[in-house]
Amino acid sequence: MTLVIQIIVFIAFSIGLGVLIQCNDFFQLKGIPSRIVVSAFFLKVFVGIGLWALYTFVYSERANADIYKYYDDGYLLFLQLRDHPILAFKFFFGIQDLQISLLLKDTMHWDREYNFGVLNDNRTMIRFNFLASYFSHGFIHLHTLFINFLSFTGLVALYKTINRQLTLPAFALFFAVFLIPSTLLWGSGILKEGFLLFSLGIFTLTFFNWLAQTNLRNSFLLIIGTALLAIIKPYVLLSLIPVVAAAIGIRFLKIKPIIAYLGVISIGFFGVVLLKQFHLFDLFDLLQQKQTAFYNVAMMNESGSAVSVSSIQTPLEALFAIPEVLVNVLFRPFITEVNSIFYLLAAAENLFLLVLIVTMIFFFKKPTTNQLNFLFFGLFFTLILGTLIGWTTPILGAVVRYKVPFLPFLFALIFSCIDFNKINQKFNLSIR
């Protein structure tokens, strides 16, 4: 396929997806004009291409660039299997075959050096790029377009879910979901974050639909959402389990929200401690191994973003480390630590988060009783996932990407607790 034809195919798919977003009811967002929604999608595509340019012309070590790792392996497998449809089918669906096993030895990232007994999410992205190659024939920007459609679909699902649960201005929710710099940047490249946002959005939407109406259809869709999360980021699914259990308790057992969430989390923590005491499963040792593995990677790659993190070998050490690791995840890098364009964006975002928190304190709006369940859902999901990231990831460059899943929840719940009417009155504004 020539470059001209590849560009024509890219333009055709772009127009087609743009029309789909413009016309399909699923992509209609309450309070946001359709042209803004479509523009947000193409902004993501533009940012994704910009990220490709950065990793191609500025940070040009292809072997260490995540956008190329899974693309290169996926395209290589496409070249080897495109004339063998039965083998291609077996590869995509994970059916064992000796020929496929031999082909996989030529890939660089199908297997990982460090494996901690969870699903290898590298393989999900390699399969995605393998499938996309049937349309792109090596034109990487079509992969960017496809991953952005997936991540955009997930973000639309998140917007719809949050909009049903909380009361906040449409522009604020749109910003929280689509325009936070980290979400926009890392969720727009050919990276795991794009597929993760798709999976998280589908899971969240179907879960709250299931809570509202527990039927076969919603149960089936919830299983799909759970499976999607399991194959891309199992630790995000692990972080969701306590808040999902609490939300179910509130819905069906009529437990007060704060009691449900604190109770489930406390029971879960002490359950993990008991498993360790009886030598059945040591989560803390597993997390310590992951932290050590990250330090080893930082030393091998001479990473300049490594930070010191306390030991989490025992339950007490892990508990005492929580304030430190949450500061690392939520507020670092600081402005004084900026040493690259990526750090600058992250530091500006963290500073904006601090400003929002201060604004919320001075212009606090008490949430209604009906909003408490989702507010605690988002808050404790943020704290649990943030803690897991902080415990195991002592590299700030990785932290700014790993926290992408909870950012829409965090910013949305802060915006929902800001009284914009008071701000309008005090500063003579008209924020709606």
Residue 114 has pLDDT above 70, yes or no: no
Residues 331, 368: one domain? yes
From 185, 208, 232, the end of a domain falls on 232
414's tokens: 């802060």
Residues 215, 302: one domain? no
Give the phi and the psi of residue 187 in degrees, each rounded to 5.
Answer: -90, 5
Comparing CA positions, the residue from 124, 152, 68 lying closest to residue 236 is 124
Residue 118 has pLDDT above 90, yes or no: no
* Position 414 confidence tier, pLDDT thresholds 50, 70, 90: very high
Averaged pLDDT for residues 390-408: 93
* Position 298 confidence tier, pLDDT thresholds 50, 70, 90: low
305 vs 42, higher pLDDT: 42
Averaged pLDDT for residues 20-26: 96
Residues 409, 275: one domain? yes
CA atoms within 13 A on the CB side of 290: 18
Q: Which residues share a beta bridge with 306?
A: 395
Residue at 363 is within a domain? yes
% of the chain beyond a pLDDT of 90: 74
> What is the pLDDT of the chain when averaged over all its residues?
92
| AA letter at 243 | V
Query: Residue 301: what pLDDT?
Result: 66
Residue at 66 is within a domain? no
Least confident window among 19-23, 166-170, 190-194, 286-290 = 286-290
Q: CA–CA distance from 395 to each of 78, 392, 398, 400 (Å)?
A: 34, 9, 5, 9
Cβ-in-10-Å burial (0-12, 13-18, 19+) of 419 comes to middle
Q: CA–CA distance from 90 to each of 79, 85, 120, 240, 315 (Å)?
A: 15, 9, 18, 32, 43
Residue 350 has pLDDT above 70, yes or no: yes
Query: Residue 313: what pLDDT?
Result: 87
- Summarised one tens digit per residue, pLDDT across range 202-218 is 999 999 999 999 899 99
Provide the number of structural domains found in the chain: 3
In three-state secondary structure terms, 117 is coil
Least confident window among 94-98, 111-115, 229-233, 267-271 = 111-115
* Position 413 confidence tier, pLDDT thresholds 50, 70, 90: very high
- Give the separation between CA 371 and CA 376, rounded to whole angstroms: 9
Residues 131, 145: one domain? no
Averaged pLDDT for residues 359-385: 94
From 103, 135, 167, the end of a domain falls on 135
Query: Residue 304: what pLDDT?
Result: 65
Averaged pLDDT for residues 355-369: 94
Residues 31, 170: one domain? yes
Residue at 69 is within a domain? no
Residues 102, 156: one domain? no
Residue at 156 is within a domain? yes
From 200, 232, 264, the end of a domain falls on 232
Residues 127, 159: one domain? no
Residues 186, 108: one domain? no
Residue 115 has pLDDT above 70, yes or no: no
Query: Residue 427: what pLDDT?
Result: 81
Rounded to the nearest angstrom, the gap between the alpha carbon of residue 158 and the centroid of all alpha carbons in its chain is: 11
Q: Residue 102's domain spans which residues?
A: 75-135
- Summarised one tens digit per residue, pLDDT across range 235-261 is 999 999 999 999 999 999 989 999 999
Residue at 299 is within a domain? yes
- Give the separation between CA 263 and CA 36, rounded to whole angstroms: 42
- Summarised one tens digit per residue, pLDDT across range 67-88 is 899 999 999 999 999 999 999 9
Residue at 151 is within a domain? yes
Q: CA–CA distance from 67 to each of 49, 120, 188 (Å)?
A: 11, 17, 10
Query: Residue 150: what pLDDT?
Result: 98
- Summarised one tens digit per residue, pLDDT across range 137-160 is 999 999 999 999 999 999 999 999
Residues 352, 340: one domain? yes
- Give the separation between CA 40 and CA 316, rounded to whole angstroms: 45
- Summarised one tens digit per residue, pLDDT across range 149-199 is 999 999 999 999 999 999 899 999 999 999 999 999 999 999 999 999 999
Averaged pLDDT for residues 3-19: 94
Residue 397 has pLDDT above 90, yes or no: no
Averaged pLDDT for residues 98-106: 92
Residue at 16 is within a domain? yes
Residues 375, 277: one domain? yes
Determine contact, residues 129/70, Cβ cutoff 8 Å.
yes
Query: Residue 64: what pLDDT?
Result: 76
Residues 128, 154: one domain? no
Alpha helices in 166-282 (DSSP H): 170-174, 181-186, 192-212, 216-232, 234-253, 257-277
Residue 425 has pLDDT above 90, yes or no: no
Residue at 148 is within a domain? yes
* Position 285 confidence tier, pLDDT thresholds 50, 70, 90: confident
In three-state secondary structure terms, 418 is strand
- Summarised one tens digit per residue, pLDDT across range 307-334 is 888 888 889 999 999 999 999 999 999 9
Residues contacting 342, CB < 8 A, separation 6+: 185, 397, 400
Residues 346, 423: one domain? yes
Rounded to two decimals, the pTM is 0.94
